[in-house]
């Protein structure tokens, strides 16, 4: 698999011929999958997707503050699974050509103060974005999500779906700031936002089968963050260890 | 004595829902509670399982001679009380297999091996004529009303309770599915003659398949009348409104 490792400012890659890296820009010409491993990085990333390709990107990132920009050309589809631990990244997505489509699943485990922002600009007709942001805030630090959707006049028949949720068990100062800037009626836009605990009814259902509270939370958190079927077991395991770590810490409090 | 509900009182939004409710269930008995919608039947079942939204104001719940009021929901489940819910919830991201294997492992007190688990599940899935792929799907996600109810009975078969509470199990089930569900319950009762059953229902339809020892009519927060199967059919003909008068008449005699 194509792999890019970014540590601080150091950048290493093993890429096949479908992908080229030049002048800080990753250019994807053909359908492919790329795994990004970002650690403690502030390195900007620019990803250009040429027309008529299908791209799947997986991020595993810790302690990152990266500007990540996507330019997606006509008839291309990009699916991103972004697993993040303490991320303050700024993501900017331009849907540049007709029928360009992006699905962005961002899941984060938050232990410090972080602000994550994602903006999708629909620059052409019949473009589609599905943005799912799920965050778990493990302590009293703030997790902030800023989610922007921009649909100008010319981008008719576009679809912009945003679903943002933060689960916080402790008293928290987290917030979600959704902005939909829409200049046409001929489109579909949805934004759902939720900050809070898991509903009592769900916890009750699991507990009524003899599962203790802590274990119920583990199941619910895992489902909330890693519900996406397309992730591999090793990736899920990598991510989940950060929840377990915290749980051990909590019991000692 | 298996379960004793002693003088239970509950208010919700200043409305009395349970008002001196008492009932005793012995091992091996089948009880039915019938009552009009909104009487508090589901409330009763949730109180028995300690749902956080339903706080008992007075009364006691006794299991095999000991009060269980201080026990949490999972602890009550581990005693062997199982509630098949009226409206089983969807829990996104948590697969049935993960949920059920966790529940079974909790019951057994050790991690149940995947093979052992699958063997048991596959038999139960066949018995209930459910589709094989349900294990890999999220809990009740995309399930029809009937499939959700079957999933409750699947969990019952897996957890092997001593007391089964069925809250409106027949709602959402077509005739064929109701038959399958009831066959599975009857088989369970045959194999476990000490197991008890409390059927909560609005309609007597289910009593064509499962024969009760006692039929109770609930109204105004308590049991107004107790009889045998014939009482259920009488209610079917005359409705619930006459019940208070009937008991008054009886007491005047
Ligand atoms: N969580 C709740 N908060 C407030 N009122 C409730 C709640 N649950 C049920 N109720 C009310 O309590 C009454 C009994 O409800 P329920 O137990 O569901 O009745 P049944 O199952 O007999 O139809 C109804 O009036 C219902 O609206
Ligand atoms: Mg009910």
What is the residue extent of each domain of chain A?
Answer: 2-199
Answer yes or no: do B88 and A211 touch at CB < 8 A: no
Domain B3-245 has CATH 3.40.50.300: yes
d(CA B117, CA B124): 11
Order of strands, edge to edge, in the sheet holding A25-28? A19-22, A25-28, A45-49, A67-72, A90-95, A114-122, A143-151, A175-182
| Residue A234 DSSP one-character state | H
**Least confident window among A30-34, A121-125, A209-213, B163-167:** A30-34
pTM for the model = 0.87
Asked if pLDDT for residue B143 goes beyond 50, the answer is: yes
What's the pLDDT at A172? 64
Asked if pLDDT for residue A10 goes beyond 90, the answer is: no
Asked if pLDDT for residue A250 goes beyond 50, the answer is: no
A202, A211, A213: residue with CB nearest B89: A202
Mean pLDDT of A75-99: 97
What's the pLDDT at A171? 62
Q: Closest Cα partner for A116 from A139, A80, A150, A142? A: A142
Q: What chain B residue is nearest to A227 in terms of C-alpha separation? A: B93
What's the pLDDT at A23? 67
Taking the CA of residue A211 and the nearest CA in chain B, the distance in Å comes to: 6
Q: Ligand 1, closest atom to CA B168? A: 21
Answer yes or no: do A220 and B73 touch at CB < 8 A: no
Degrees to nearest 5, angle at CA A236 with A29 and A249: 135
| Residue B228 DSSP one-character state | -
What's the pLDDT at B132? 87
The answer to whether residue B111 neighbours chain A at the CB level (below 8 Å) is no
How far does the centroid of ligand 2 lie from the alpha carbon of residue A43, in Å? 57
Tell me which chain B residues have a C-beta less than 8 angstroms from the C-beta of A219.
Answer: 94, 98-99, 102
Taking the CA of residue B163 and the nearest CA in chain A, the distance in Å comes to: 13
Top residue of A192, A207, A236 to mutate, by most chain B CBs within 10 Å, is A207
Q: Which helix H or strand E contains B111, and what residues bound it?
A: none
Q: What percent of chain A has pLDDT over 90?
A: 72
Beta strands in chain B (DSSP E): 3-12, 15-25, 30-34, 58-63, 66-67, 81-84, 91-95, 138-139, 163-167, 196-201, 214-219, 222-227
Residues belonging to chain A with any Cβ–Cβ distance to chain B shorter than 8 Å: 200-202, 204-213, 215, 219-220, 222-224, 226-227
Mean pLDDT of B229-247: 78
What's the pLDDT at B249? 38
């Amino acid at each position: 698999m194509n792999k890019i490792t970014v540590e601080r400012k150091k950048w290493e890659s093993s890429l096949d011929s479908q992908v080229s890296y030049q002048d800080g820009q990753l250019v994807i010409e053909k359908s492919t999958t790329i795994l990004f491993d970002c650690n403690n990085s502030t390195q900007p990333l620019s990803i250009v997707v040429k027309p008529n390709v299908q791209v799947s990107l997986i991020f595993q990132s810790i302690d990152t503050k990266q500007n990540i920009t996507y330019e997606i050309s006509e008839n291309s589809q990009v699916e991103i699974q972004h697993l993040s631990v303490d991320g303050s990244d700024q993501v900017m997505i331009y849907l540049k050509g007709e029928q360009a489509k992006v699905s962005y699943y961002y899941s984060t485990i938050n232990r410090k103060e972080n602000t994550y922002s994602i903006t999708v600009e629909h620059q052409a007709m019949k473009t589609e974005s599905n943005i799912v942001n799920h965050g778990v805030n493990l302590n009293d630090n703030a997790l902030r999500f800023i989610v922007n959707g921009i649909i100008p006049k010319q981008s008719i028949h576009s679809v912009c779906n945003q679903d943002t949720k933060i689960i916080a068990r402790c008293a928290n100062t987290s917030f979600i700031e959704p902005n939909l800037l829409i200049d046409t009626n001929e489109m579909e836009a949805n934004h759902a936002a939720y900050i809070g605990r898991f509903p009592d009814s769900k916890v009750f259902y699991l507990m009524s089968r003899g599962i203790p509270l802590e274990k119920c939370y583990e199941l619910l958190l895992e489902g909330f963050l890693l519900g996406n079927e397309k992730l591999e077991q090793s990736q899920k395991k990598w991510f989940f260890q950060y929840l377990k770590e915290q749980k051990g810490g909590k019991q000692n409090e | 004595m298996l379960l004793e509900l002693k003088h239970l009182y509950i208010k919700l939004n200043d409305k009395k829902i349970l008002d001196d409710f008492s009932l005793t269930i012995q091992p091996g008995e089948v009880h039915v509670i019938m009552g009009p919608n909104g009487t508090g039947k589901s409330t009763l079942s949730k109180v028995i399982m300690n749902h956080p939204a339903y706080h008992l104001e007075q009364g006691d719940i006794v299991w095999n001679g000991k009060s269980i009021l201080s026990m949490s929901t999972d602890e009550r489940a581990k005693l062997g009380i199982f509630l098949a819910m009226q409206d089983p919830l969807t829990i996104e991201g948590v697969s049935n297999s993960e949920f059920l294997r966790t529940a079974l492992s909790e019951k057994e007190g050790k991690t149940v091996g995947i093979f052992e688990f699958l063997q048991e599940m596959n038999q139960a899935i066949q018995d209930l004529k459910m589709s094989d792929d349900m294990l890999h799907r999220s809990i009740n996600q995309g399930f029809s009303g009937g499939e959700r109810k079957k999933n409750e009975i699947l969990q019952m078969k897996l957890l092997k309770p001593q007391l089964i509470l069925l809250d409106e199990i027949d709602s959402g089930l077509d005739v064929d599915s109701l038959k399958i569900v009831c066959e599975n319950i009857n088989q369970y009762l045959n194999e476990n003659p000490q197991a008890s059953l409390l059927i909560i229902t609005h309609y007597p339809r289910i009593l064509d398949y499962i024969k009760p020892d006692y039929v109770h009519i609930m109204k105004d927060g308590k049991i107004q009348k107790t009889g045998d199967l014939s009482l259920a059919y009488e209610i079917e003909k005359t409705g619930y409104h006459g019940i208070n008068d009937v008991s008054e008449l009886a007491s005047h005699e």
